Amino acid sequence: MIALCPGRLMAYTTNSMPELPEVETIRTAIEPLIIGQRLTGLELRDPSILRGDAAAVYSTIADAAVHSVQRRGKHLLILLEGDRTIVIHLRMTGALLLEEPADPRRVRAVLHFSNETRLYFNDMRRLGTIAIEDTGSCCRRLGPEPLSDEFTPHRLIQCLASHRIPVKAALLDQYIVAGVGNMYADEALYAVQIHPLTPANELTANQVKSLWHSIREVLRRAIACQGASIATYALPNGQRGTAHDLFKVAHRMGAPCPRCGTPIQRVMVRKRGACFCPACQRTEKGEHRDGA
């Protein structure tokens, strides 16, 4: 089947796309519901969401069984028999829901499975995408997963040493490390007291090692809280994650730094906002502190 149809919260600033913890939370929620089931329908309420010709794409995946549900960086991967993978990128405001939302106008696509499970791709800003790719080649160009054994302190040291761009921009480069986005990069840099504008290649080896630990700790903590519901992100059952309750600087511009009380500031780093404490995360050379 294929159908083509036309308080503290006050301190949060801007939307944030689902990052690694949010996509991982979605993955673990939907995997037991669709594993082993067959894809019986791809309903496109907004055809622009699909990369490629709709009829041709669907003919390659119709009635295929789901082998597994994986995540690569910020991408959700539904692996099908026949070595085909549905690659879902939620972008800024996408969400996968198990029930149709109250405002169905924001539903861009619906995936139907043989056990009558339905996944509603809800997207307010209409930026998310669905693509069908060969399983062996999808997302191969992305950098290492930050919670994997492949992502080592030495590898991060090597990567950052070869870039003069601000460290915040380097952390957002999905070819350096996959899955870290705006808010978790802010949290990781704050934890080790590194200013987001610090050139990546000026960090000491000790600073990078501390940053490596911080990245992994921030992401693990966020996964345990089922992600951060800043704006539109929700779990597939409609509930909200709580990782944002632990944020120290991300989305908290103007709020007091929990460490020193200085108001959190926001600076643009290559067209992306970065929240930081100007007292704890200094910019002058020689005054970057390794952190605990």
Using CA atoms of 8, 13, 19, 22 in order, give the dihedral in degrees to the nearest 10.
Answer: 40
Return the structure tokens found at 239.
């509930």
Verify whether residue 209 is a known catalytic residue: no
Cα separation, 155 vs 170, whole angstroms:
13
74 included as an active-site residue: yes
Q: Does residue 285 have an active-site annotation?
A: no
Q: Which residues of 33-61 are buried (b: 16+ CB within 10 A; e: fewer)?
A: bbeeebbbbbbbbbeebbeeeeeebbeeb
Residue 175 CB neighbour total at 10 angstroms: 10
Catalytic member of 19, 22, 133, 187: 19
Provide the 10 A C-beta neighbour count for residue 8. 11
Closest Cα to residue 160, out of 110, 202, 104? Answer: 202
Active-site entry in 38, 91, 259, 272:
272
Helices 205-224, 20-34: crossing angle, 10 deg rounding = 40
Give catalytic status of residue 166 as yes or no. Answer: no
Active-site entry in 27, 45, 71, 74:
74
Catalytically active residues are 18-19, 74, 272
